[in-house]
Structure 1
Amino acid sequence: MKITLMRAAACLALFGSAFAQAQTYPTKTITMIVPFAAGGPTDTVARLVAQSMGNKLKQQIIIENVGGAGGTIGAARVAKAAPDGYTLFMHHIGHATAPSLYRKLPYNAQTDFEPIGLVTDVPMTIVARKDFPARDFKEFLAYIKANKDKVTYANAGVGSASHLCGMLFMTAIGTDLTTVPYKGTGPAMNDLLGGQVDFMCDQTTNTTSQIKSGKIKAYGVTTKTRLPNMPDLPTLNEAGLPGFEVAVWHGLYAPKGTPKQVVDTLSSALQTALKDPNVKQRFADLGTEPVAESRARPEALRAHVKAEIERWSPIISKAGVYAD
């Protein structure tokens, strides 16, 4: 009886400590892990959101870039992190495609994380080096088909948004092209700017400024409608690729076991950040916008991840693309 009472007291003390921590959270700097190189589209989204969330929480949120293996290295680190609310994770659609792309993952994408909320849906653009010979998408398509053995397609590595878009694009046009994988979108874009590779499909958060400055050529956007900030850029559907549509969603997570009150505090801060006029304006400048408040919630992201895993699994299986 005495031992049982001692154990009960210990459990109550532990619960009381966790509850007290949740009540006072946060009391120190928070780290948000981005599983890609600095300068890429997910990194850009994360830094904008982190700054505004930090203002709401009255604590700094710093970004740590942990790139490699299509985002799975960063994800694995977060899955093993202490569930105390001081390690967060910003990832995109790749979080839902990794279970199908990788034969063995050191974590479970659905059960090893606490969803905080969706952040944004980002359109993608087909872009090429600035001296690419095609003037419009019709010429672009004809050129890459005629020169399929010479044209190079850059992506940010297996599982990245640019990899997924490229895979769908090549399937849609019935042409296999030489792909050049990089460790992140930033390095891939640098080589596109330098003319070392021919083209890529990348998020507007990474391409808009380069398109507007004339440093790269844009041939189409992957959404159903044209972008307000680039109204002259046709959709791929308009340009001659009927039904082609892909957008890259971003979500925010914490390690499994993070107290509900902490998760709720973070979700509330995320919702506030997505209403921040500066965040909304910067997103608009980059060709995207924050999700509705109802989607910036744990239950919405949980359901979305499940649905996206189910959507992409047969597509990836049919394509026969896997990573070790």
Structure 2
Amino acid sequence: MSSTTTRLAPLFAVWLAALGGSPALAAGFPEKPLTLVVPFPPGGATDTMARIISKGMAQRLAQTVIVDNKAGAGTTIGAGAVAQAPADGYTLLISSNTTFTVNPALKAKLPYDAQKSFESIGLIGTSPLVLLANPSLPAHGVKELVALAKAQPGKLAYASFGNGTTAHLAGEMFKLVAGVDILHVPYKGSSPAMTDLIGGQVQLSFDTNVAALPMLRAGHVKALAVTSARRSPSLPQVPTIAEAGYPGFEMLPWITIVAPRGLPPAVQKTLGKALADTLADAAIRADLEKAGVDVSYEPGSFYDARVAKELPLLRAYVHKANIPLE
């Protein structure tokens, strides 16, 4: 090696560090399969989205994307595992604001910090929650449900897909604004919650469009309302809770893919482009929309601002509703 090359080597290393990665990582990523962690059991809304999106990203990255279900504790098991993974782009998490703003608002201790542990590679879209009922329940709308609940305080129960999830918080918000006493029954994901709703073990459920649509089409459950501020394009005939007399009511889950914070910029760019191109694919977009996702891609830079805005609002609401921290 010449003396000139020897002198320049340290400068080259400094330049690479400033770029946030090595030439092999920037040029060769990904060199092995990626893992996309789903913090829910198979068969639920997030799992459905993950399996659709993973195929599209795998094609664009020319690598296998393995879907790994790590369910439990309202997404904190899966999220905690990803937060502790190396920030090299090979371990990703797909989840909703359950993980990033609802859990931090409801839980005193978490195995991650939503504002420090993750960075997003892009927003996938939103999936409004649906207030569902067993077909045998003698209520066909929110007003009838409220009247029934007030006539039978404490006798009705609603399922959610876990403590500290958007479904849980939506249920508690509904109880507060409607002035009703309804028991919360948490499950480890949408699939077991839906099974018990259909079986009549619980009368009500808050669940995502993705989980609700197949059961609604089959006639196994009925929809009383959606929790978004506007009617969902996939359920245009179903009114919002706000329309039923509770203006301002809104709980709209948004879904994103994140990685451990500290990704090399070249890896972040590669992953972001793969997700953007996947969501721009007409066939994949159609599959997601058919499943109940309102696709609305945004680059990963959206994440920090959205969490910083939403988290204090939810914390204030939890305090107002007197929901005890777990």
Decide: shared fold, TM above 0.5.
Answer: yes
TM-score, normalised with respect to structure 2: 0.90
Give the C-alpha shift of residue 12 in structure 1. Answer: 6.4
Structure 1 pair 234–17 and aligned structure 2 pair: CA distance change class (3 A): closer
- Partner of 1:264 in structure 2? 269
Match of 1:304 among 303, 306, 312: 306
Match of 2:87 among 83, 90, 110: 83
Q: Partners in 1 of 2:104 and 2:231 — Cα distance? A: 32
- Partner of 1:51 in structure 2? 55
Structure 1 pair 77–207 and aligned structure 2 pair: CA distance change class (3 A): same
Kindly indicate whether the alpha-carbon contact (under 8 Å) linking 2:106 and 2:325 is maintained by their aligned counterparts in 1: yes
Structure 1 pair 102–11 and aligned structure 2 pair: CA distance change class (3 A): farther
Gaps of 5+ in 2: 1-6
Give the C-alpha shift of residue 315 in structure 1. Answer: 1.0
- Partner of 1:178 in structure 2? 183
Kindly indicate whether the alpha-carbon contact (under 8 Å) linking 1:83 and 1:255 is maintained by their aligned counterparts in 2: yes
- Partner of 1:166 in structure 2? 171
Letter in 1 for 2:240: T
Give the C-alpha shift of residue 291 in structure 1. Answer: 1.1
Give the C-alpha shift of residue 58 in structure 1. Answer: 1.1
Letter in 2 for 1:46: A
- Partner of 1:119 in structure 2? 124
Match of 1:128 among 109, 130, 133: 133
Give the C-alpha shift of residue 143 in structure 1. Answer: 1.0
State the aligned residue count.
Answer: 316
Q: Partners in 1 of 2:71 and 2:140 — Cα distance? A: 35
Kindly indicate whether the alpha-carbon contact (under 8 Å) linking 1:100 and 1:322 is maintained by their aligned counterparts in 2: no
Cα-to-partner distance string for 1:109-163 (whole Å, 9 max, x where unaligned): 1111122111111111110112112133322221122122211111122111210
- Partner of 1:74 in structure 2? 78
Structure 1 pair 304–154 and aligned structure 2 pair: CA distance change class (3 A): same
Q: Partners in 2 of 1:42 and 1:313 — Cα distance? A: 24
Match of 1:251 among 235, 242, 256: 256
- Partner of 1:35 in structure 2? 39
**Would you say 1:187 and 2:195 are equivalent positions?**
no
**Identity of aligned pairs, percent?**
38
Q: Partners in 1 of 2:260 and 2:230 — Cα distance? A: 36
Match of 1:313 among 305, 312, 315: 315
**Would you say 1:233 and 2:238 are equivalent positions?**
yes
Q: Partners in 2 of 1:62 and 1:312 — Cα distance? A: 33
Q: Partners in 2 of 1:114 and 1:136 — Cα distance? A: 40
Q: Partners in 1 of 2:119 and 2:140 — Cα distance? A: 46
Structure 1 pair 240–46 and aligned structure 2 pair: CA distance change class (3 A): same
Q: Partners in 1 of 2:214 and 2:170 — Cα distance? A: 20
Q: Partners in 1 of 2:13 and 2:229 — Cα distance? A: 54
SS at match of 1:32: strand
SS at match of 2:124: strand
Letter in 1 for 2:306: H
**Would you say 1:22 and 2:26 are equivalent positions?**
yes
Cα-to-partner distance string for 1:210-241 (whole Å, 9 max, x where unaligned): 11211001111223333333332222223333
Give the C-alpha shift of residue 199 in structure 1. Answer: 0.3
Letter in 1 for 2:217: K
